[in-house]
Amino acid sequence: MNIWKLIGALILTAVLLIGGAYMFAKLGWIASLQPKAWLILLITTLGILFKLLFGDLATGEFRYHKHGYDLCVLTMGATMSGLSLQLLSDDNLFPGLQAAGPLTLAEFVSSDPVQQSRLLLVFMFLVSSFVALLTAIISKAISSESTPGKNLLALINFLCGATMLGWYVLILVTKG
């Protein structure tokens, strides 16, 4: 077990999860964060860090490609849950989701904020499902002895997972 890989992943994940939300808000990609957003981010970060530690304990090693895949599946589940809730509600449960940045494109399809949130969540679910499938295929390839460039593939998986983690943060901090 390489403890430094695990510690590096713990630190990087915490920085991406907490720092990502504040960076998105500062760039104007999402609405300003609510005063208690830090609490949501802290609880979520602790949960993901526990997942990392428990996974390392269970397997005896940390693998970046597996971590990237896990983050994609986590995002897929989060968007599926958010979409399910939004489909059942007449209120916009994610009022900050389409507030700024590239996500304002939903305004071209509908002027109704509830429909915009539904559309964005469907889009996010489809993309996160595709990226989860992609990272699963890459993880499978990494487990084959004949696959060249395993470190590059692991980096691609981790970056895909980190990107999906950013989407997960977006869903968390835009919840009304």
How far apart, in whole angstroms, are the C-alpha atoms of residue 46 and residue 52?
Answer: 10
Q: What is the pLDDT of residues 31-80, one digit of tens each?
A: 777 788 888 888 888 988 888 888 777 877 788 898 899 999 999 998 99
How far apart, in whole angstroms, are the C-alpha atoms of residue 108 and residue 127?
Answer: 20
Q: What is the pLDDT of residues 151-165, one digit of tens each?
A: 999 999 988 998 888
What number of H helices and E strands is found in the chain?
6, 0
How far apart, in whole angstroms, are the C-alpha atoms of residue 14 and residue 16?
Answer: 6
Question: Is 92's pLDDT higher than 70?
Answer: yes
